[in-house]
Structure 1
Amino acid sequence: MDDTPIARAAQAAVQAIGRAGEGLPRPASTRVMVVANQKGGVGKTTTTVNMAASLAMHGLRVLVVDLDPQGNASTALGIDHHADVPSIYDVLVEGKPMADVVQPVRDVEGLFCVPATIDLAGAEIELVSMVARESRLQRAIAAYEQPLDYILIDCPPSLGLLTVNALVAGQEVLIPIQCEYYALEGLGQLLRNVELVRAHLNPTLHVSTILLTMYDARTRLAAQVAEEVRTHFQHEVLSTAIPRSVRISEAPSYGQTVLTYDPGSTGALSYLEAARELAQRAVGPTGSLVGQQRDGSGTTAVRGTEPRWHGTTEGQQ
């Protein structure tokens, strides 16, 4: 029978993979997107590499900048990042041109990576005494002359100088939020930092995209978290949610994104659809942060930063 769950899933896979080759509209100028969330384990690196691979598979030219000293994005893209490899550390601290450290990703045409090495762990301290310490990445990107449609910057799970460099260099912030308890914990501080950078260092910066990750349709909790996030960030949340997937978790151990590791998996198809939605979305012209309001003192009060659901969590895995 054609009307079975397996048949429907297979048909959806064929359609999504077919659309991947159709191409997407190229942005008028390079979209520099900062993938950030100070909470660990929410899928920042996974989102960065798989969104980048999805955009490249749609025919766009994409650069991943790995700003996390752990180098997980470099690993997932199959890029060597041992201590002697020229990396983003050399760009930020030594002033090396970014063109000298960019490497092509072998499995995905049009996808490139600036790797991170363990040296980056000390960069926070070394940057403190440097001139224009917050804008060194922005200057390196501005001097990079190769044509690109997207630059995705994978940030460490902290709000130090590396993340500030990313926020100064970027135009948009993409926040992955996991569909689990305490999903919005720490989000208020991230939004406040975005507001501070926007006010003092980068007036074009704004939160443009929120992606729900680790969505488990079997649990009521996941649906409650998704509803809560969509309530507070109506315009930013992509309609596509990334499911909790074994294939997504396995892919980095093989030095691959889920798009090349298992192209027909639900995780791969979800990232393809999320990338399509991201590329087709119009960027908000005002750069305002939905979910914020001004209080009487003129400071920014962030709403919706604590989960408020009280329903049952039966079925939670």
Structure 2
Amino acid sequence: MTSPDTGGDREKVVTKLTSTLRQDLKVRAALHGLDMQDAVEAGITAWRGLGSNPAAVDTAGAETYSTFLPVGLWEGFRDDCKDRGVSLTQGIAQAVSIWLEANPVPEVKRPAMVRRIVVCNQKGGVGKTAITAGLGEALAEDPAALVPVRVSKHFAALLEEDDRPEDPLALEDLPGLGQRVLLVDFDPQGHLTRQLGHELLPMGGDSLTNHMAGDSKGELSDLVVTVDEDRFGDRLHLLPACTDAFLLDVRIASVRAREAALERALRSVEADYDVVLIDCPPSLGISMDAALYFGRRRDNEDTGNSGALIVVQAEDSSADAYGLLTSQIEDMRSDLALDMDYLGLVVNHYDARRGYIATSSLQAWMDIKDPRVVGVVGDLKEQKEAVRAKRPLLAYAPRCEQSIAIRALAREISK
């Protein structure tokens, strides 16, 4: 069945396709940057060029499916199906299957050098842990699946409550980033570890602190656990915290080149990952120096590949804490001659309904151009619910506004 397309030289075609083939077609076409109709056209053209029928495809449960094809293509395809003795439903299923086989999932683009992202702010309660976890999840999502993303151009709309983007048309379905990610719980409070459903490492056993202090009891890789959710595959891992991290500053104070202690400890595992994310404690001590040193720009590393991601809130006390942290970063830049990049500011827990303080503070953050705001994440209930359920936010509520905003953040800092 066909009907003319008044918008161009295509006609509307109504046929049947199984839900599985339809979903695979939608995802694969998006992965290759194509419209579904173009993929169907290419599949039909390839099918018509075959010398014999391909293997039959299971079409049980096929449902009505419509698309637009060049005028005359469907008529010729229908005649070919009749000549070959196959139904239109079987023919279109074979054509789509041929296109899928010829266009596999593209390989994930991996960084030339492992990215090291230090999520920090010496002020507690700004949501560093939630941003660390969410960012790691967004980076690790299935590259063969589509996820909803809202891009950064919508940040400005968050300044006014009435202009907040609620229209689903503002969303874009994009493939997951498919990165191999290590989350490092560098905070002795262990919130990241608990939020992802794991236990803190026991006192008296091995820990990241021991490795940094030169007193390891085994391989660091033996401490790493998998965040077990289907949408992340085996790409999202966690190095849990241990409460012995409260003693970290004391234990590494006398260690040789103490600023490099974290880098030395993680050296044995970082090559297994595309991205290493450090969830820092609310501190400006020696451990923070070690985290910042780990995130410095290394020799031959591109600017912006690694660095500090600073989490703030739209209120006044965050500005004070921001000033203290950036002073520490600038001191390290100067004292140790480091190339230290700012990856940006994330304004977390934002809610325009809190009035002038929130909106004016957000505007003040946006007025800072270096580092610039790379993400605005709302203060919504899903994150609290995910913490209570001890599940990753992007697995617990993958389509909520917070998940969508965090995916935008992941892409913004991956440009």
TM-score (norm. length: structure 1): 0.76
Q: Which residue identity does 2:369 align to in structure 1? A: F
Distance 1:253 1:82, change over 3 A: farther
Residue 89 (structure 1) aligns with: 209
Structure 1 distance, partners of 2:279, 2:337, is 18
Distance 1:213 1:125, change over 3 A: same
Listed as ranges, the matches of 1:99-178 within 5 Å are: 99-107=221-229, 108-109=232-233, 110-144=235-269, 146-171=271-296, 172-178=307-313
Question: Does residue 29 in structure 1 map to residue 149 in structure 2?
Answer: no
CA contact (8 A) 1:168 1:202 kept: no
Larger Rg: 2
Deviation by residue 1:210-243 (Cα, 9 ceiling, x = unmatched)? 11111113233322111101112355211x4100
SS for the counterpart of 1:263 is: coil
Structure 1 gaps, min length 5? 1-17, 281-317
Q: Which residue identity does 2:283 align to in structure 1? A: S
SS for the counterpart of 2:367 is: helix
Listed as ranges, the matches of 1:167-246 within 5 Å are: 167-171=292-296, 172-201=307-336, 203-218=338-353, 219-233=355-369, 236-238=372-374, 240-246=375-381
Structure 1 distance, partners of 2:118, 2:112, is 18
SS for the counterpart of 1:184 is: helix
In the TM superposition, residue 188 of structure 1 has moved relative to its aligned partner by 1.4
CA contact (8 A) 1:97 1:140 kept: no
Residue 138 (structure 2) aligns with: 54
CA contact (8 A) 2:201 2:240 kept: no
SS for the counterpart of 1:186 is: helix
Distance 1:37 1:145, change over 3 A: closer
Fraction of identical pairs, as percent: 32
SS for the counterpart of 2:352 is: coil
Structure 2 distance, partners of 1:180, 1:228, is 10
Structure 2 distance, partners of 1:116, 1:202, is 30
Structure 2 distance, partners of 1:181, 1:24, is 41
Deviation by residue 1:113-157 (Cα, 9 ceiling, x = unmatched)? 111111111122121122222211111223336431111101110
Q: Which residue identity does 1:32 align to in structure 2? A: R
Structure 2 distance, partners of 1:97, 1:188, is 38
CA contact (8 A) 1:66 1:114 kept: yes
Residue 261 (structure 1) aligns with: 396
CA contact (8 A) 1:198 1:205 kept: yes
Structure 2 distance, partners of 1:252, 1:64, is 16
| Range with bigger deviation, 257-266 or 86-95 | 86-95
SS for the counterpart of 2:112 is: coil
Residue 274 (structure 1) aligns with: 409
Structure 2 distance, partners of 1:235, 1:82, is 35
| Range with bigger deviation, 24-33 or 110-119 | 24-33
Structure 2 distance, partners of 1:205, 1:32, is 11
Distance 1:111 1:40, change over 3 A: same
Residue 126 (structure 2) aligns with: 42
SS for the counterpart of 1:211 is: strand
Structure 2 distance, partners of 1:39, 1:173, is 15
Q: Which residue identity does 1:154 align to in structure 2? A: D
Q: Which residue identity does 2:347 align to in structure 1? A: L
Deviation by residue 1:268-314 (Cα, 9 ceiling, x = unmatched)? 1111121122212xxxxxxxxxxxxxxxxxxxxxxxxxxxxxxxxxx
Structure 2 distance, partners of 1:266, 1:154, is 22
Distance 1:222 1:145, change over 3 A: closer
Residue 191 (structure 2) aligns with: 72
Q: Which residue identity does 2:124 align to in structure 1? A: G
Q: Which residue identity does 2:405 align to in structure 1? A: S
CA contact (8 A) 1:97 1:144 kept: no
In the TM superposition, residue 77 of structure 1 has moved relative to its aligned partner by 1.9
Higher helix share: 2
SS for the counterpart of 1:198 is: helix
Structure 1 distance, partners of 2:289, 2:370, is 26
Structure 2 distance, partners of 1:259, 1:202, is 39
Q: Which residue identity does 1:77 align to in structure 2? A: L
Structure 2 distance, partners of 1:202, 1:48, is 27
Residue 305 (structure 1) aligns with: none
Structure 2 distance, partners of 1:99, 1:114, is 9
Structure 1 distance, partners of 2:368, 2:270, is 39
RMSD: 2.2
Structure 2 distance, partners of 1:165, 1:63, is 17
Q: Which residue identity does 1:159 align to in structure 2? A: L
